[in-house]
């Protein structure tokens, strides 16, 4: 039961927003071909990211308005040394019931226990292929085996949820389903296949490697996978189960009809801009309102006012990608 009875994060379409995705930096140590193929390059010196106190004020303000699920993203969030402190600040904010992290898992084997001790409850790890050569070709990073071992550790840990994200890429990993099914047979994990989305930087790549997620989804349904009900604060995935498999499969298909009808999440970038939509045209600077506790009501009023301006959905079908240049800039 949420301690603040009347969630106020509601848009003009009646959608509620219990879910905040907070990017804490835009830097990354991978070179994923669909995101940062040439690696991360700091634009002008190191990014001036929100600090612990600013994030504490931000999370409290959202929680007071009805947010109860926070996902920490990047770039690659484990590159911030104060990540455990940020996790505990979020976990201590009254009203937040679920603190999740999306990571490429490069340091998961080293930091998992510290993150859990800090209050982490859910983990999403990016694994775009199950064969080392493909994995390295897509991410520019070796170390798949160590990553899979670390995920098995996470599956044995007290975390409430462990999920794997795999971006669907034509001619790069669209033949990996048999491997994934083998992987899922005896593991209590959800593998979510994410349809590649166009961004400001990847048009040519998108045209070469886009694979419609619904093709995979129809195949799964034909093979007896059954759709599960979706929780109100769940992410955008349609999740499926099958009696022969312990694991589940999720499908994130942003090009599918009505994808945005169930939108329930807001985003804040690493330097404190509110993004009403992943593909939105505007970012609203919140940082000036994160400088003292006296600004709390002004911050909340700004969030409620801005939510009234949220559009019904994205215009990706028209090739409109808004402000997003690549996913490291906002954490997907």
CB atoms under 10 Å from CB of 255, counted, come to 16
Stretch that binds ligand SF4, among 56-64, 218-226, 256-264, 296-304 (CB under 6 A): 256-264
Torsional class of 80: left (φ above 0), alpha (ψ -120 to 50), beta (otherwise): beta
Question: Is 57 or 265 the residue whose CB approaches ligand SF4 more closely?
Answer: 265
Sign of CA pseudo-dihedral 314, 320, 324, 327: positive
Q: Confirm or reject binding of residue 230 to ligand SF4 (CB under 6 A).
A: no
Q: Confirm or reject binding of residue 279 to ligand SF4 (CB under 6 A).
A: yes
- Interface pick for ligand SF4 out of 260, 286, 303, 330 (rule CB under 6 A): 260
**Minimum separation from the CB atom of position 277 to ligand SF4 (A):** 3
Q: Confirm or reject binding of residue 19 to ligand SF4 (CB under 6 A).
A: no
**Minimum separation from the CB atom of position 111 to ligand SF4 (A):** 29
**Minimum separation from the CB atom of position 323 to ligand SF4 (A):** 12
Instruction: Find the binding residues for ligand SF4 in span 155-174 (CB under 6 A).
Output: none
- Interface pick for ligand SF4 out of 64, 71, 210, 314 (rule CB under 6 A): 314
Question: Is 37 or 313 the residue whose CB approaches ligand SF4 more closely?
Answer: 313
**Minimum separation from the CB atom of position 304 to ligand SF4 (A):** 18
Question: Is 21 or 57 the residue whose CB approaches ligand SF4 more closely?
Answer: 21
| Strand-pair partners of 23 | 73
Nearest Cα residue to 124 out of 270, 250, 259: 250
Burial class (CB in 10 A: 0-12, 13-18, 19+), 198: buried
**Minimum separation from the CB atom of position 265 to ligand SF4 (A):** 6
58 contacts 22 by C-beta, under 8 angstroms: yes
Q: Confirm or reject binding of residue 119 to ligand SF4 (CB under 6 A).
A: no
Q: Confirm or reject binding of residue 313 to ligand SF4 (CB under 6 A).
A: yes
287 contacts 272 by C-beta, under 8 angstroms: yes
The rounded distance, in Å, linking the Cα atoms of 216 and 222 is: 10
CA 320 from centre of chain: 21
The rounded distance, in Å, linking the Cα atoms of 93 and 70 is: 10
The rounded distance, in Å, linking the Cα atoms of 313 and 327 is: 18
- The 8-class DSSP code of residue 245 comes to -
Q: Confirm or reject binding of residue 278 to ligand SF4 (CB under 6 A).
A: yes
Q: What is the DSSP string of 32-81?
A: -TTT-TT----TTSS-----HHHHHHHHHHHHHTT--EEEEESS-GGGST
**Minimum separation from the CB atom of position 266 to ligand SF4 (A):** 8
Question: Is 118 or 316 the residue whose CB approaches ligand SF4 more closely?
Answer: 316
Sign of CA pseudo-dihedral 4, 9, 12, 14: negative
Stretch that binds ligand SF4, among 1-9, 95-103, 175-183, 275-283 (CB under 6 A): 275-283
Q: Confirm or reject binding of residue 277 to ligand SF4 (CB under 6 A).
A: yes
Stretch that binds ligand SF4, among 16-24, 47-55, 166-174, 273-281 (CB under 6 A): 273-281
Question: Is 172 or 330 the residue whose CB approaches ligand SF4 more closely?
Answer: 330
Summarize as ranges the residues that interact with ligand SF4 (CB under 6 A): 236, 259-260, 263, 277-279, 313-314
């Amino acid at each position: 039961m949420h301690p603040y009875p009347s969630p106020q994060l509601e848009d003009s379409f009646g959608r509620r927003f219990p879910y905040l995705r907070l990017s804490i930096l835009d830097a990354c140590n991978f070179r994923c071909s669909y995101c940062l193929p040439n690696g991360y390059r700091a634009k002008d010196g190191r990014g001036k990211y929100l600090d612990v106190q600013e994030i504490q004020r931000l999370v409290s303000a959202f929680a007071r308005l009805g947010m109860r699920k926070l996902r920490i993203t990047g770039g690659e969030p484990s590159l911030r040394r104060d990540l455990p402190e940020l996790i505990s600040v979020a976990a201590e904010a009254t009203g937040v019931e679920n603190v999740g992290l999306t990571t490429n898992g490069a340091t998961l084997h080293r930091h998992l226990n510290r993150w859990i001790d800090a209050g982490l409850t859910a983990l999403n790890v990016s694994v775009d292929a199950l064969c080392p050569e493909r994995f390295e070709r897509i991410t520019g990073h070796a170390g798949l085996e160590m990553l899979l071992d670390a995920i098995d550790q996470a599956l044995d840990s007290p975390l409430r949820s462990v999920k794997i994200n795999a971006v669907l890429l034509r001619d790069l990993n669209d033949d990996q389903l048999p491997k994934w099914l083998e992987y899922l047979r005896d593991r209590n994990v959800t593998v979510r296949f994410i349809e590649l989305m166009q961004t400001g930087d990847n048009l040519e790549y998108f045209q070469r490697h886009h694979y419609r997620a619904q093709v995979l989804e129809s195949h799964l349904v034909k093979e007896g996978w059954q759709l599960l009900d979706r929780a109100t604060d769940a992410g955008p995935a349609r999740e499926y189960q099958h009696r022969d498999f312990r694991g589940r499969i999720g499908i994130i298909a942003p090009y599918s009809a009505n994808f945005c009808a169930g939108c329930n999440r807001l985003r804040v970038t690493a330097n404190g801009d509110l993004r009403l939509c992943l593909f939105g045209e505007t970012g609203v600077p919140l940082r000036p309102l994160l400088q003292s506790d006296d600004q709390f009501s002004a911050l909340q009023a700004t969030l409620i006012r801005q939510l009234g301006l949220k559009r019904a959905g994205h215009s990706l079908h028209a090739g409109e990608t808004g402000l997003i240049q690549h996913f490291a800039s906002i954490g997907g």
